[in-house]
């Protein structure tokens, strides 16, 4: 079946819905293609807040927010993106409120704000109340509110459609191919502009806060087609994953006064970040936790985690401001945060890297910022690069509204002056062949087993601390896994709701993004932000103040180019907190 | 521990009607029912179909009838169920395959109550003001994850699929009691119609089923009163 829309958005998380909404407001005919139902996307899991210098609780300025973002990103952040972001996120939060988002309120009726990691006043002097929040389900409320607005604007949704191909010819994006889960049928989508907003790929790791469905599909599809992925070596581990499941416990818990403690009961962050302590950026806290465990001060029979202590907080703060994480802890661990500290350990959380774009979401193909006409990206799937080497808490929600809006507006305007491209059934060929091969295969390999091996090996060799030796080992493991992937066979040969087929396709994508990540990490011989090389422990601005662009040459073979970092307001300095 | 997992399965291409399949699964008491379904799918039978995404109770994908009650598979632990566990699709929506049901009728009811803020007054330059008390008034409804546990536990919905159902009414409540909203007249049309709130027989199944602990029946009663007295 064939469909035609001026702007087609892939993904119905916050970035996708913001894009769709603003493109529709520009007058474009918009459709959203999503592999889930709307409101199932993982923006809904974001808890703590959306940072904006509203100044509702105390003095704040967008320049401070911009500075924190650049410093938090260990100076790999493009400063033009950070400036646009810090200014526009204020307006974006107010617009969300106007759309009906139920932010928590201050006694004077204004939007309430809380402290969050790495967000400071007066250029790093002390934590600042910047994160606008709705209890600890801010992401849920953003997702719901944006979907409500899409319903209001009658935007077309193709639910449970898995994109299997992006049609790129003559350097131009022409359309999409997608598998309809209900029927197994392949659909052809003709579009003047396509916006990729399909989220991240935390499922490359064993322990992750990410949904089962976050498998980097579109990053992998574009990477296979020869487009670059930017800064893939920078992958964020969130410090407080519920141990051992990895379910996210918001940094807002520390924003409200929670403290990390080791087996000796010490507030160990005092040693690593004397000024802002537990509210240091995530990369630093995650490393500190690993070091505490490594040095024998871990908790539990295996001494392999630490504790998040909320017991000193007033019970009403915990119940009112952190109800969901309190429930997670009670349900999954049987631990009541009011009475005892909660076991935590870092959990794979967010890809700073992704599909490189301009400030308007246009996908670029090289270090000269050459645009791929008709192709856009926004949100975690994209790399603009706002987050640099390490994203600050709350900036993902801000990112998806600010840059989703920009991508939507630009895509709609582009579509007005563009024509549709001719597409034929032949464009389904590549997808059909890939699916048929999987269904026909009688190989001995199974999806679940290969995936488990991938996730464990990525955890062991390419997570918080890295060395050249371990990364080189992982390069070889990935090559072997890619080879074995060719011999996967399925139990389910049917068409309707073949979720096993979907998992097989997704595993293919996971392998691709893992390859880009591991090769980029091996290539970058310095430590910066979330990329910590024990064999190269220092930041090296001389050689590495630049973005990585990774291009796939063949399985196991990756080529690199480099894009300069956009500097400006803030010169790179040592990063202490 | 060893768990006997009975799943009501249905493949429209093969079966005339749903049939029970039984699986033996090795489980930890702290495993989620979702973990058991994954064990079956990944280790025993890849054809098993079910929906899931976040895995910790906030996306609303995996509502199922588990040991006779609507619950989220990712939020229900083995230790609370025992060693024999039955899993069926939620009731009242057409079964597409195994535990997957057609969600379209559910979302159609959602759309019918105009689930978005209605206020055509030009917004101020800053945020609209709302006191913490006004914000608290509609807090319960904002927790809803649209999982359909409530609606598909409702006996009225089972008998009459045109009933809007508890979830849609909860969504309406969320806006009706929001001090910023001006849309009650528009929403009352759907809510006061023959398929609206008056169908509710206060069975309380919805309240018991809600994985977010929303007092669903109470909210429905508040909507009924709002329509009757047309004041808040």
pLDDT (tens digit per residue) in A446-456: 999 999 999 99
Could you tell me the CATH number of the domain that includes residue A479?
1.20.58.100
Q: How confident is the model at residue A545 (pLDDT cuts 50, 70, 90)?
A: very high
Q: Are residues B129 and B82 in the same domain?
A: no
Q: Please give the structure tokens belonging to residue A161.
A: 């459609």
Q: Computed from CA positions of residues B36, B42, B44, B48, in that sequence, does the dihedral angle turn out positive or negative?
A: positive
Q: Are residues B78 and B175 in the same domain?
A: no
B9 touches chain A (CB under 8 A): no
Partner residue facing B58 (CB), from A45, A98, A213: A45
The residue among B50, B85, B101 that closes a domain is B101
What are the respective helix, strand and coil percentages of chain A, to the nearest 5? 40, 25, 40
Pairing of strands A371-377, A186-196: parallel
Q: Which residues have C-beta within 8 Å of that of residue B194, sequence separation ≥ 6?
A: none
- Give B 84-143 residues with CB within 8 A of chain A: 96-98, 100, 103, 107, 110-111, 114-117, 119, 123, 126-132, 134-135, 138-139, 142-143
The answer on pLDDT for A177 being more than 90 is: yes
pLDDT for the residue numbered A235: 98
The answer on pLDDT for A423 being more than 80 is: yes
The mean pLDDT of chain B is 96
Q: Which residues have C-beta within 8 Å of that of residue B80, sequence separation ≥ 6?
A: none
**Domain total in chain B:** 2
Could you tell me the CATH number of the domain that includes residue B13?
3.10.20.30
CB contact under 8 A, B178 and A102: yes
- Is residue A355 within 8 A of residue A194, CB to CB? The reply is no
pLDDT for the residue numbered A130: 98
Q: Are residues B121 and B35 in the same domain?
A: no
Give how far A204 is from chain B: nearest CA, Å. Answer: 15
Q: Are residues B126 and B56 in the same domain?
A: no
Q: Are residues B121 and B192 in the same domain?
A: yes
Q: Which residues have C-beta within 8 Å of that of residue A8, sequence separation ≥ 6?
A: A30, A31, A32, A33, A175, A176, A189, A191, A193, A194, A195
- Is residue A87 within 8 A of residue A99, CB to CB? The reply is no
Q: Is residue A27 one of the residues assigned to a domain?
A: no
Which of A144, A184, A242, A449 best probes binding to B when mutated, by most B CB atoms within 10 angstroms?
A144
How much of chain B exceeds pLDDT 70, in percent?
99
A141 touches chain B (CB under 8 A): yes
Partner residue facing A491 (CB), from B47, B77, B128: B47
The answer on pLDDT for A406 being more than 80 is: yes
pLDDT for the residue numbered B49: 98
Q: How confident is the model at residue A334 (pLDDT cuts 50, 70, 90)?
A: very high
Q: Are residues B89 and B138 in the same domain?
A: no
pLDDT for the residue numbered B187: 95
The Cα-based distances of A79 to A74, A267, A303, A411, A571 in angstroms read 12, 34, 41, 23, 10
* Residue in chain A nearest B129 by alpha carbon: A109
CB contact under 8 A, B56 and A151: no
pLDDT tens digits, one per residue of B52-111: 999 999 999 999 999 999 999 999 999 999 999 999 999 999 999 999 999 999 999 999
Helix (H) or strand (E) holding A355: strand A355-356
The residue among B101, B124, B147 that closes a domain is B101
- Give A 32-51 residues with CB within 8 A of chain B: 36-37, 39-42, 44-45
Q: Is residue A447 one of the residues assigned to a domain?
A: yes
The answer on pLDDT for A534 being more than 90 is: yes
The answer on pLDDT for A298 being more than 90 is: yes
**Domain total in chain A:** 2
Euclidean distance between CA atoms A570 and A222, whole angstroms: 33
Q: Are residues B112 and B7 in the same domain?
A: no
- Give A 463-492 residues with CB within 8 A of chain B: 490-492
A91 touches chain B (CB under 8 A): no
Q: Are residues B55 and B117 in the same domain?
A: no
Give how far B122 is from chain A: nearest CA, Å. Answer: 9
CB contact under 8 A, A148 and B61: no
Q: Residue B129: helix, strand or coil by DSSP? A: coil
Q: Are residues B169 and B96 in the same domain?
A: no
Q: How confident is the model at residue A19 (pLDDT cuts 50, 70, 90)?
A: very high
Euclidean distance between CA atoms A229 and A356, whole angstroms: 6
pLDDT for the residue numbered B16: 93
Nearest to A306 by CA among A322, A287, A323, A289: A289
- Is residue A339 within 8 A of residue A230, CB to CB? The reply is no
Active-site positions of A read 282
What are the respective helix, strand and coil percentages of chain B, to the nearest 5? 35, 15, 45
Q: Is residue A309 one of the residues assigned to a domain?
A: yes
The Cα-based distances of A492 to A117, A440, B43, B95, B148 in angstroms read 46, 10, 13, 18, 28
Nearest to A221 by CA among A163, A159, A160: A163
The mean pLDDT of chain A is 97
Nearest to A355 by CA among A388, A324, A334, A380: A380
Partner residue facing A99 (CB), from B47, B97, B117: B117
**B142-170 as b/e, with b when 16 or more CB fall inside 10 Å?**
bbbbbbbbbbbbbebbeeeeebbbbbbbb
The residue among A296, A323, A348 that closes a domain is A348
Owning domain of residue A474: 426-539
CB contact under 8 A, B128 and A151: no
Q: What is the mean pLDDT of residues A526-534?
A: 98
**Residue A566 CB: number of other CB atoms within 10 A?**
15
Q: Please give the structure tokens belonging to residue A426.
A: 């032949």
The residue among A348, A370, A403 that closes a domain is A348
CB contact under 8 A, A141 and B54: no
CB contact under 8 A, A497 and B55: no
Give how far B146 is from chain A: nearest CA, Å. Answer: 8
The residue among B67, B101, B135 that closes a domain is B101
How deeply is B84 buried, as exposed, middle or buried, from its count of CB atoms within 10 A (0-12, 13-18, 19+)? Answer: exposed
Q: Are residues B223 and B110 in the same domain?
A: yes
Beta partners for A363? A357
Owning domain of residue B23: 2-101
- Give B 184-213 residues with CB within 8 A of chain A: none
Q: Residue A123: helix, strand or coil by DSSP? A: coil
Q: Is residue A291 one of the residues assigned to a domain?
A: yes
pLDDT for the residue numbered B54: 97
CB contact under 8 A, B59 and A499: no
Q: Are residues B84 and B110 in the same domain?
A: no
pLDDT for the residue numbered A355: 98
The residue among A301, A319, A348 that closes a domain is A348
Q: Are residues A342 and A250 in the same domain?
A: yes
Backbone angles phi, psi at A27, to 5 degrees: 95, 5
Q: Given strand B2-9, what is the order of strands in its sheet?
A: B19-26, B2-9, B84-88, B63-66, B69-72
pLDDT for the residue numbered B231: 54
Backbone angles phi, psi at A191, to 5 degrees: -145, 150
Q: How confident is the model at residue A186 (pLDDT cuts 50, 70, 90)?
A: very high
Pairing of strands A113-121, A126-132: antiparallel
pLDDT for the residue numbered A238: 97
Could you tell me the CATH number of the domain that includes residue A312?
3.90.700.10
pLDDT for the residue numbered A343: 98
CA angle, A326 then A111 then A401, to 5°: 85
Q: Are residues A253 and A344 in the same domain?
A: yes
Q: Which residues have C-beta within 8 Å of that of residue B92, sequence separation ≥ 6?
A: B151, B152, B154, B157, B158, B161
Q: Please give the structure tokens belonging to residue B23.
A: 């699986």
Q: Which residues have C-beta within 8 Å of that of residue B113, sequence separation ≥ 6?
A: B164, B168, B169, B171, B172, B187, B190, B191
pLDDT tens digits, one per residue of B115-167: 999 999 999 999 999 999 999 999 999 999 999 999 999 999 999 989 999 99
Q: How confident is the model at residue B230 (pLDDT cuts 50, 70, 90)?
A: confident
Question: What is the DSSP secondary-structure string of A171-187?
Answer: TEEEEEEEEETTT--EE
Which of B58, B124, B146 best probes binding to A when mutated, by most A CB atoms within 10 angstroms?
B58
How deeply is A53 buried, as exposed, middle or buried, from its count of CB atoms within 10 A (0-12, 13-18, 19+)? Answer: buried
Which of A38, A56, A148, A498 best probes binding to B when mutated, by most B CB atoms within 10 angstroms?
A148
Q: Residue A281: helix, strand or coil by DSSP? A: coil
Euclidean distance between CA atoms A355 and B178, whole angstroms: 39
How much of chain A exceeds pLDDT 90, in percent?
99
Q: Are residues B47 and B8 in the same domain?
A: yes
Q: What is the mean pLDDT of residues A57-68?
A: 98
Q: What is the mean pLDDT of residues A117-131?
A: 96
The answer on pLDDT for A151 being more than 80 is: yes
Euclidean distance between CA atoms A564 and A558, whole angstroms: 20
pLDDT for the residue numbered A365: 98
């Amino acid at each position: 079946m064939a469909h035609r829309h001026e702007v087609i958005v892939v993904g119905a998380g916050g970035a996708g819905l913001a894009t769709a909404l603003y493109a529709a407001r520009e007058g474009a005919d918009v459709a959203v293609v999503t592999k889930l139902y709307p409101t199932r996307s993982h923006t809904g899991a974001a808890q703590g807040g959306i940072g904006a210098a509203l100044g509702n609780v105390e003095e704040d300025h967008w320049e401070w927010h911009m500075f924190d973002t650049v410093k938090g990103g260990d100076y790999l952040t493009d400063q033009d993106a950070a400036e646009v972001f810090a200014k526009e996120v204020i307006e974006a939060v107010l617009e969300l409120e106007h759309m009906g988002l139920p932010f928590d309120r201050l006694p004077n009726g204004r939007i309430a704000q809380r402290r969050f990691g790495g967000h400071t006043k007066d250029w790093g002097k002390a934590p600042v109340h910047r994160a606008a929040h709705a209890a600890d389900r801010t992401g849920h409320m953003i997702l719901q509110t944006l979907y409500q607005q899409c319903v209001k604007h009658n935007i077309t949704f193709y639910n449970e459609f898995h994109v299997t191909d992006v049609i790129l010819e003559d350097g131009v994006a022409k359309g999409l191919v997608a598998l309809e889960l209900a029927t197994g049928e392949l659909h052809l989508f003709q579009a003047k502009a396509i916006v990729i907003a399909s989220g991240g790929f935390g499922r490359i790791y064993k322990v992750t806060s990410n949904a089962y469905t976050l498998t980097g599909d579109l990053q992998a599809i574009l990477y296979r087609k020869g487009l670059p992925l930017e800064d893939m070596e920078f992958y964020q581990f969130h410090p407080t994953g519920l141990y051992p499941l990895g379910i996210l416990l918001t940094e807002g818990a520390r924003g409200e006064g929670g403290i990390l403690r080791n087996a000796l009961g010490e507030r160990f962050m005092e040693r690593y970040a004397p000024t802002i302590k537990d509210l240091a950026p995530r990369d630093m806290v995650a490393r500190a936790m690993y070091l505490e465990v490594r040095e024998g001060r871990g908790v539990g029979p295996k001494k392999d985690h630490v504790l998040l202590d909320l017991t000193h907080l007033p019970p009403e703060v915990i119940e009112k401001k952190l109800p969901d994480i309190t429930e997670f802890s009670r349900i999954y661990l049987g631990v009541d945060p009011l009475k005892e500290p909660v076991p935590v350990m870092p959990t794979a959380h967010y890809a700073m890297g992704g599909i490189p774009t301009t400030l308007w979401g246009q996908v670029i193909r090289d270090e000269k910022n050459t645009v791929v006409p008709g192709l856009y990206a926004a949100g975690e799937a994209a790399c603009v690069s706002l987050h640099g080497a390490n994203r600050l808490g709350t900036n993902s929600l801000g990112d998806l509204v600010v840059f989703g809006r920009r991508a939507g507006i630009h895509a709609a305007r582009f579509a007005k002056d563009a024509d549709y491209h001719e597409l034929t059934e032949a464009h389904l060929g590549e997808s059909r062949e890939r699916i048929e091969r999987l269904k026909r295969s009688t190989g001995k390999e199974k999806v679940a087993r290969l995936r488990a091996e991938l996730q464990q090996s990525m955890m062991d060799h390419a997570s918080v601390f890295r060395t050249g030796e371990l990364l080189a080992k992982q390069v070889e493991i990935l090559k072997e896994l890619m080879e074995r992937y060719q011999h996967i066979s399925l139990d389910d040969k049917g068409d309707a709701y073949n979720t096993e087929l979907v998992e097989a396709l997704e595993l293919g994508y996971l392998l691709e993004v893992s390859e880009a990540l591991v090769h980029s990490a091996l290539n970058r011989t310095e430590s910066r932000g979330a990329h910590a090389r024990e064999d190269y422990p220092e930041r090296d601005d001389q050689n590495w103040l630049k973005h990585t662009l990774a291009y796939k040459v063949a399985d196991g073979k990756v080529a690199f180019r480099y894009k300069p970092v956009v500097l400006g307001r803030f010169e790179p300095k040592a990063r202490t907190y | 521990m060893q768990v006997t997992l009975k799943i009501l399965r249905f493949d429209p291409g093969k079966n005339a009607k749903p049939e029970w399949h039984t699986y033996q699964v090795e489980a930890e008491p702290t495993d989620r029912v979702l973990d058991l379904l994954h064990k079956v799918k990944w280790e025993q039978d890849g054809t098993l179909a079910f929906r899931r995404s976040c895995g910790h109770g906030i996306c609303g994908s995996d509502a199922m009838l588990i040991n006779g009650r609507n619950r989220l598979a990712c939020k229900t632990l083995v230790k609370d169920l025992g060693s024999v566990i039955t899993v069926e699709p939620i009731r009242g929506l057409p079964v597409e395959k195994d535990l997957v049901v057609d969600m379209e009728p559910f979302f159609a009811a959602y759309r019918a109550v105009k689930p978005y803020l209605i206020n055509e007054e030009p917004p101020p330059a800053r945020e609209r003001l709302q006191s913490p008390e006004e914000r608290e008034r509609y807090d319960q409804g904002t927790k809803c994850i649209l999982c359909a546990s409530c609606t598909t536990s409702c006996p009225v919905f089972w008998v009459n699929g045109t009933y809007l159902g508890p979830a849609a009414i909860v969504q309406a409540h969320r806006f009706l009691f929001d001090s910023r909203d001006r849309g009650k007249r528009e929403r009352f049309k759907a809510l006061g119609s023959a398929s609206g709130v008056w169908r509710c027989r206060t069975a309380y199944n919805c309240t018991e089923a809600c994985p977010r602990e929303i007092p669903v029946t109470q909210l429905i009663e508040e909507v009924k009163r709002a329509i009757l007295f047309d004041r808040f």
